Amino acid sequence: MENADHQVLTKLTDWVEDGELSWLCTVVKTWGSSPRPIGSLLSCNNRGHTCGSLSGGCVEEDLLERLQNGELAQEKPELMIYGKTKEESDRFGLPCGGQLHIVIEPIRTKQQIATLRQIVNRLEQRLCISRTVELDTGVMTAEDKDRYRNLELIGEIPTDEFGEPLEKDAKNLTLVHTYGPRHQLFLIGAGQVSIYLAEMAKALDYHVVVCDPREQVIEQWPVEGVQLVCDMPDDAVREHANDNFSAIIALTHDPRIDDMGLMEALKTNAFFIGAMGSTRTSAKRRERLLQLDLTPAEIDRLHAPVGLPIGSKTPAEIAIAILAQLTALRNEASVEADFRATA
């Protein structure tokens, strides 16, 4: 399954190579409630064709009309802000006074096409790459990256006496946008649940790392596009998953492997740490972890049994439950609490 950014950039590059006047639009900042997150992309051309989404409808229609009428970004990038007034927010369907700051870039040069192809090729390998654009000139460059980083719009947007942004007067702005898997899923164990979890997580744009110290197990791994590590899990966690973009989940059912990885994982900056097992198994695991110089606060970070309580039994169902829990956590939803309140 293609990454959404890959779809947008591939379509854009194809249009430009076919001689179509085309643009790349990027959400670079939001204020209040917004329908799409920072980094969302839309490509469009002068014939009215689009790929991607910025808001879900009204903003795209207005933006495309302005581009086709020659009002915006004909020669170099421009910053466009939607929702500066309540009336405008209502008109464009931006909830609760939300704002969208959008960078619009005309794409037409061979250098731009070559850079976009470089990015597309990198995304096809499920690797990260950063694109930098000087808005005053439109000059675009790209650089390979090892991990995803948040989008940055470098420079100040001037405001009027009432504090409203004056995007037309903005100078010396630089957009730095990293494409590629935004989160990493580090799986301890290369068993059947890991196989289903890896397949589904790739579709959700995770970079998946599978660690198992058993060479004969790792050699039989069937899922392509996954980073394999045949090492002890504590060493691998330290090297690959000590950051707040990583989720670490132990899945072997073997305490000699799982506990070693969790002992290190619970000391990292990972945004999620989980372990598979029954309620009874999880209670015993917590007792063992207390004996491994972990504090109660560190052990409280552990989600075990991992996954939303949806009655999952099969490996595929368990994988769905785990990814649902990760999605709820990443979106700051209360789904898990709601499930447990009614269980």
Query: 225-243: b or e for each residue (b if 16 or more CB lie within 10 Å)?
Result: ebeebbeebbebbeebbbe
Q: What is the predicted pLDDT for the residue at 125? A: 81
Unique residue bearing structure tokens 């950063």: 130
104 and 195 co-located in one domain: no
CA distance 315 to 146: 31
Please tell me whether the peptide bond between 222 and the residue prior to it is cis, using omega within 30 degrees of 0: no
Last residue of a domain, one of 179, 207, 238: 179
296 and 165 co-located in one domain: no
The pLDDT value recorded for residue 176 is: 97
Beta-carbon-side half-sphere exposure of residue 343 (alpha carbons within 13 Å)? 10
Q: How far is CA 176 from CA 89, 107, 125, in A?
A: 27, 17, 21
Q: Is the pTM of this model over 0.85?
A: no
How far apart, in whole angstroms, are the C-alpha atoms of residue 335 and residue 38?
A: 23
Same-domain check for residues 190 and 335: yes
Q: Are residues 246 and 268 in the same domain?
A: yes
Report which DSSP code applies to 138.
-
Three-class secondary structure of residue 87 per DSSP: helix
Domain span at residue 198?
Answer: 183-342
* Collapsed DSSP state (helix, strand, coil) of residue 153: strand
Say if residue 156 is in the same domain as residue 249: no
Can you tell me the distance from the alpha carbon of 72 to that of 79, in angstroms, rounded to the nearest whole number? 9
237 and 166, same structural domain? no
Q: Which CATH number fits the domain that encloses residue 331?
A: 3.40.50.720
Q: Is 316 helix (H, G, I), strand (E, B) or coil?
A: helix
* Count of domains forming the chain: 2
Q: What are phi and psi of 197, to 5 degrees?
A: -65, -40
Looking at the fold, whether 138 and 205 belong to one and the same domain comes out as no
- Contact indicator for 191, 251 with CB cutoff of 8 Å: yes
* Count of helices and strands (H, E) across the chain: 12, 15
Show which of 163, 179, 195 is a domain's final residue: 179
Digit-by-digit pLDDT tens for the chain (343 residues) are 567 899 999 999 999 999 999 999 999 988 755 567 889 999 999 999 999 998 866 788 899 999 999 999 999 999 998 877 666 656 655 554 567 899 999 999 999 999 999 999 998 887 899 999 999 999 999 999 988 888 999 998 877 766 676 677 778 899 999 998 878 999 999 999 999 999 999 988 888 999 999 999 999 999 988 999 999 999 999 998 988 889 999 999 899 999 999 999 999 999 999 999 999 999 999 999 999 889 999 999 999 999 999 999 999 999 999 999 999 988 764 444 444 444 4
Same domain, 28 and 159: yes
Same domain, 19 and 127: yes
Regarding whether 331 and 288 lie in a shared domain, the answer is yes
Which of 132, 163, 179 is the C-terminal boundary of a domain?
179
Q: Are residues 187 and 202 in the same domain?
A: yes
Positive or negative, the Cα torsion across 160, 162, 165, 167?
negative
* Residues 145 and 31 occupy one common structural domain: yes
